[in-house]
Structure formats: C-alpha cells, structure tokens
Amino acid sequence: MSSNLEEIKLPLILVNFKTYSEATGIKGLELARKAQEISLDTEVSIAVAPQYTDIKTIADEVEIPVFSQHIDPVAQGAYTGHITAEAVKDAGAVGTLLNHSERRLKLSEIDEALRKAKSVGLTTVVCANTPSVSAATAALNPEMVAIEPPELIGTGVAVSKAKPEVIKQTVSQVMGVNSKIAILCGAGITSGEDVSAALKLGMQGVLVASGVVKAKNQKVALLDLANPIREAAK
C-alpha cells in the first residue's frame, strides 16, 4: 500500500452525492459543510463523494475526507472525457469509489483502476452487488469493499435490516479471501437503526446517498446516522 495513503478512520459514514441536484455546485459544498459539522460534533468519521466538478471546491473548504465517485483505469494522456486518479488526487480527493452499481466496471478495469488509485495514494472502496462479487473484489486488494444489493438502492429499505444474510455471507466470503479488507454496506440506509444493525453484523461503516442527500433536513439525517457509531465508541 502506498505510504502516502491517508488513514481513513473507521467506522465510516460515506455519503455519495451521486448526480443529485440537491448535492451539485453550491448545494454540494453546503452538504459537505454539514457533514463536516456533524463529524466534528460527534467525532464520527464522515466522508463525502461529490461530483467530479465539485471535488476541488469542496476539498479546498472542508477537512473531512473527499472521495471521487469513480476513476477510469487509464493513465494521464490521450483519453478525452476520462477521469484519472491523478486528476482527482490533484483536486484534493483522498479516495475513490469504484464499480458502483450505477457505474459498473469490467473486472480487468477494476484491477487496473485499483493500481492507478494506489499509485497516487487514493483509498479505494469497491462496490459489489453480491457476496461472491464482494469476495472477488477482495482478491484485488482494495482498502474497503461495500456490499450493496442494487434492488434496495434508493428504497429506504435498509440492507442491514432487510437482508442480514447477504451481509453475513459477504463477511464470510470476503474474510475467506482477504482478512485485511474493511467491509461497508449500503442500499436503503436512512436511519440510525440501520447503522446499528450494520455494526452488529460486523460492518465497519455504511455507504449512504439519498437517505442524506434527499432528506428534508440533511443535518438531522447525518446526526441520526452518526449516533450509533458515537454510542459504540463510548
């Protein structure tokens, strides 16, 4: 692992801004500031994954970790319209999501993107839709795997409560391949109860999007998610 890799504190709440209008441009910056405020208040690790065009502004303004939502498995050079590890690192990101169910990659692309990410010291969270895909991902040695059954994404029905067996199988299969990987879960996470359930299943964090971004009160939603982690740390 690259020596310039910044430590991401676990358990982690990773907020994916997707391309929601509620998290684009100035609204993205405001959400990142709210995430920072709750992180400081609760001492819970919260990271944000804004859109590419907002990474620099947000990374310049907040101290919490900023992730890219994706990088392409390409070098710097003649790759019009691509997003490189170097570009997001230069803009201030310290990590990146890869293979989100809305941006799935070829297996060989994940392998190559992980090499690119590591070469510049980006922490990597690879998303997976099934326990077996999670295990396959673990063999590629990212820092974290995030299990997200796609059928629950955006539903408000939390994977940690509705599909505990998927999480248990993921833990079992991932650990069989690579015991150093931190496992997050996502899909439908909207409340502190969902986070509690995830922690009890051995998760080291959650990946959340609409549950925060589209919440009536984003700060209240963030605080609700952070509380079980704060409690567990006491």
Find the helix or strand (DSSP H, E) in which 67 lies.
Answer: strand 67-68
Q: How far is the CB of 33 from a copy of itself (least distance, A)?
A: 17
> How near is the Cβ of 94 to a copy of itself at its closest, in Å?
14
Concerning whether 100 is annotated as a catalytic residue, the answer is yes
Q: Active-site residue 148, yes or no?
A: yes
**Residue found by looking up tokens 């502190």 in the block:** 192
Give the three-class secondary structure for 49. strand
From the list 6, 100, 102, 112, the catalytic residue is 100
CB nearer a copy of itself, residue 4 or residue 76: 76
Dihedrals phi, psi of 15, to nearest 5 degrees: -100, 115
Smallest distance from a copy of itself to CB 95, Å: 14
Distance CA 109, CA 41 (A): 39
Instruction: Locate all alpha helices (DSSP H) within 139-217, ordered by sequence.
Output: 159-162, 164-177, 192-200, 210-213
Q: Where are the alpha helices (DSSP H) in 9-69?
A: 26-42, 55-61
* Rg, C-alpha atoms of the chain: 16
Q: What is the C-alpha to C-alpha distance for residues 62 and 90, in angstroms, rounded to an integer?
A: 15
140 CB-near residues (< 8 Å, 6+ apart)? 110, 111, 114, 126
Nearest to a copy of itself of 63, 77 (CB atom):
77
Give least dist CB 204 to a copy of itself, A.
20
Interface residue list for a copy of itself (CB under 8 A): 16, 18-21, 24-25, 51-57, 69-70, 74-84, 86-88, 90-91, 97, 99-111, 128-130, 132-133, 135-141, 153-154, 173, 176-177, 209-210
Choice between 94 and 229, CB closer to a copy of itself: 94
Determine which one of 148, 165, 193, 231 is catalytic: 148
Distance, in Å, from the CA atom of 121 to the CA atom of 5, rounded to the nearest integer, reads 5
Least gap, CB of 230 to a copy of itself (angstroms): 27
The H-or-E segment that residue 220 falls in is: helix 218-233
Residue 185 bridge partners (DSSP): 147, 206
Catalytic residues: 100, 148
